[in-house]
A and B are shown apart, each in its own frame.
Chain A
């Protein structure tokens, strides 16, 4: 089942930051990891990912560096301390939102 784009958009930044909490990654690797971790639910396009990564970098949540150890130049993204703080805050926010939505959806007296 395809998921509404608007539903995904708001949480994409959080998911990217969370992935980078594990290790530094380059763009293609992030798309692949996100796809496998979400059981093929999130199929992010590069055209959406890179502007998002560059915005997060401008906000100071990420830093980027080039690495040639694989034989080609790859741009890796690294989570900054400010980014780590952001993940923590956004995760709490998301959990609160998720609980609230679940509570409303499971509201027993709400059925017609």
Chain B
């Protein structure tokens, strides 16, 4: 059997194109090395190649064995949970919205009346687009993400600067800023992998690039420098940096690597220490104290805490099933975006609310488990960044809906209304599913 015949027969047995590619590469290299060895033993080039091919064994049997191993896997469990949550989200939003006009005290009643006819169509459209995007991302070769990661990082910095100069509306800038911070952990996971196996130097590079993002944001603040989204983003990147060290992305784990990773906590810790020492400007001290009050168990006093005190009082009034009321102290347009959990508990009751929270918990659990179990370190990093990001946002969202967190925009998959929110969350969910689907057919590549 000639070399070409062997390779053709072997490839014919493997169905998946991506698997064919890396199997071919590995077998070609092997035959080449074996043939070179025979040449050093005195064989001529042609005979050496022929003998190397003969030594490979039966290509049909080998190909069939490899085909059994390298097949795409459909993420049945994750997809079923995502689909159930999407349908539940649409139905619950639809029901809540259709009852919104019955005696609720709207702050922006005029806006609500304008939104009414389009609302359900929009939410179905946005979620359908999100679902299409998830299915599209399933077929994405995420190796390309790291191949162009430095270019993407550069584009990210340009996006921060462009936002500063081009966006003039506060509302639009707030949303833009939120989504910029939301996607940074994904970019950071790509950077961690890009500088893999470089030990402490690799960690410093990733930390410096993150510091540069913060620096650019301070230099080009637009209409908001930092927000709750910054804290979410920082928390997620801290977790994935430690995860990367633990999973030996930068080499065999040791104390020095963990110490280098710990540097990421210096900026927030120094802010905290400065505030304790009273070295912080008064304005920032007051904002920090107010922020901490949002998480305290005692009901804080003051106009700023009006909403959270109401949310906390409401907990004891939720019915087990049903309730059919909506909180009149929340702007109606917020009920189906930032306060969906509150709306679900108020209108449908505690048990349906807990079912939804359980579905979210199951989704996060499966997403995180799937990601952490990946052998492909890039898949593991990207999947973990997306899973941890979703988990952190869901936790923040649920806590703020029960009155334990500041009033701020938090975007979670399946339940928050809005085109951009649906699409960006779909990218996160899609990447987790893509990592699972490609676990046996995408291999780490050199860049």
- Contact partner of B446 among A48, A57, A63, A73, CB < 8 A? A73
Q: Are B66 and A28 in contact (CB under 8 A)?
A: no
Tell me if A19 counts as interface (CB < 8 A to partner B). no
Tell me if B440 counts as interface (CB < 8 A to partner A). yes
Q: Are B29 and A50 in contact (CB under 8 A)?
A: no
Tell me if B377 counts as interface (CB < 8 A to partner A). yes
Residue total for A at the interface (Cβ-Cβ under 8 A): 26
Q: Are A27 and B26 in contact (CB under 8 A)?
A: yes
- Contact partner of B373 among A26, A60, A62, A67, CB < 8 A? A60
Residue total for B at the interface (Cβ-Cβ under 8 A): 32
- Contact partner of A47 among B61, B377, B445, B446, CB < 8 A? B61
Tell me if B393 counts as interface (CB < 8 A to partner A). no
Of B373, B375, B439, which is in contact with the most chain A CB atoms at under 10 Å from its CB?
A: B375
Report B356-384 residues with CB < 8 Å from chain A CB.
373, 375-377
Bound-state Cα–Cα, A68 to B446, Å? 8
Given contacts A45-B57, A55-B69, contact A75 B29 (CB under 8 A): yes
Q: Are A47 and B62 in contact (CB under 8 A)?
A: yes
- Residues from chain B with Cβ under 8 Å of A109 in the complex: none
Tell me if B34 counts as interface (CB < 8 A to partner A). yes
Tell me if A91 counts as interface (CB < 8 A to partner B). no
Q: Which 4 A-B pairs have the closest CB atoms?
A: A47-B57, A51-B65, A47-B62, A45-B57
Residue of chain B at shortest CB distance from A62: B375
Contact flags (1/0) for A28-69 with B, using CB distance below 8 Å? 100000000000000001111011001101101011111110
- Residues from chain A with Cβ under 8 Å of B20 in the complex: none
Residue of chain A at shortest CB distance from B377: A63
State how many angstroms separate the Cβ of A26 from the closest Cβ of chain B. Answer: 8
Tell me if A72 counts as interface (CB < 8 A to partner B). yes
Q: Are B440 and A58 in contact (CB under 8 A)?
A: yes
Residue of chain B at shortest CB distance from A81: B248
Residue of chain A at shortest CB distance from B65: A51
State how many angstroms separate the Cβ of B71 from the closest Cβ of chain A. Answer: 10
- Residues from chain A with Cβ under 8 Å of B292 in the complex: none
Q: Are B375 and A50 in contact (CB under 8 A)?
A: no
Tell me if B58 counts as interface (CB < 8 A to partner A). yes
Report B1-37 residues with CB < 8 Å from chain A CB.
22-23, 25-27, 29-34
Bound-state Cα–Cα, A26 to B34, Å? 13
Tell me if A74 counts as interface (CB < 8 A to partner B). yes
- Residues from chain A with Cβ under 8 Å of B446 in the complex: 66-68, 73
Tell me if B44 counts as interface (CB < 8 A to partner A). no
Bound-state Cα–Cα, A73 to B29, Å? 8
Q: Are A58 and B26 in contact (CB under 8 A)?
A: no
- Contact partner of B29 among A64, A65, A74, A80, CB < 8 A? A74
Question: Mostly helix, strand, loop or mixed at chain A's interface?
Answer: mixed
- Residues from chain A with Cβ under 8 Å of B58 in the complex: 47
- Contact partner of A51 among B34, B56, B66, B439, CB < 8 A? B66
Bound-state Cα–Cα, A45 to B26, Å? 14
Q: Are B55 and A54 in contact (CB under 8 A)?
A: no
- Sampled A-B contacts (27; CB under 8 Å): A28-B30, A28-B33, A28-B34, A46-B57, A47-B59, A47-B62, A48-B62, A50-B26, A50-B30, A50-B62, A51-B65, A51-B69, A54-B69, A58-B375, A58-B440, A60-B373, A63-B375, A64-B375, A64-B444, A65-B377, A66-B445, A67-B446, A72-B29, A73-B29, A75-B22, A75-B26, A80-B375
- Residues from chain A with Cβ under 8 Å of B61 in the complex: 47
Report B68-82 residues with CB < 8 Å from chain A CB.
69-70
Of A50, A58, A66, which is in contact with the most chain B CB atoms at under 10 Å from its CB?
A: A50
Bound-state Cα–Cα, A48 to B69, Å? 13
Tell me if B164 counts as interface (CB < 8 A to partner A). no
Residue of chain A at shortest CB distance from B52: A46
- Residues from chain B with Cβ under 8 Å of A26 in the complex: 29
- Residues from chain A with Cβ under 8 Å of B375 in the complex: 57-58, 60, 62-64, 80
- Residues from chain B with Cβ under 8 Å of A60 in the complex: 373, 375
State how many angstroms separate the Cβ of B125 from the closest Cβ of chain A. Answer: 40
Tell me if B312 counts as interface (CB < 8 A to partner A). no
State how many angstroms separate the Cβ of A31 from the closest Cβ of chain B. Answer: 8
- Residues from chain B with Cβ under 8 Å of A62 in the complex: 375
Q: Are B30 and A73 in contact (CB under 8 A)?
A: no
Tell me if B217 counts as interface (CB < 8 A to partner A). no
Q: Are B30 and A45 in contact (CB under 8 A)?
A: no
Q: A28-B34, A47-B57, A51-B66 are in contact. List 13 more A-B contacts (CB 8 A).
A: A28-B29, A46-B31, A46-B56, A47-B59, A51-B69, A54-B69, A54-B70, A58-B375, A60-B375, A64-B444, A66-B444, A73-B25, A74-B29
- Residues from chain B with Cβ under 8 Å of A50 in the complex: 23, 26-27, 30, 62, 66
- Residues from chain B with Cβ under 8 Å of A27 in the complex: 26, 29-30
Residue of chain B at shortest CB distance from A51: B65
- Residues from chain A with Cβ under 8 Å of B69 in the complex: 51, 54-55, 58
- Residues from chain A with Cβ under 8 Å of B56 in the complex: 45-47
Residue of chain B at shortest CB distance from A61: B375
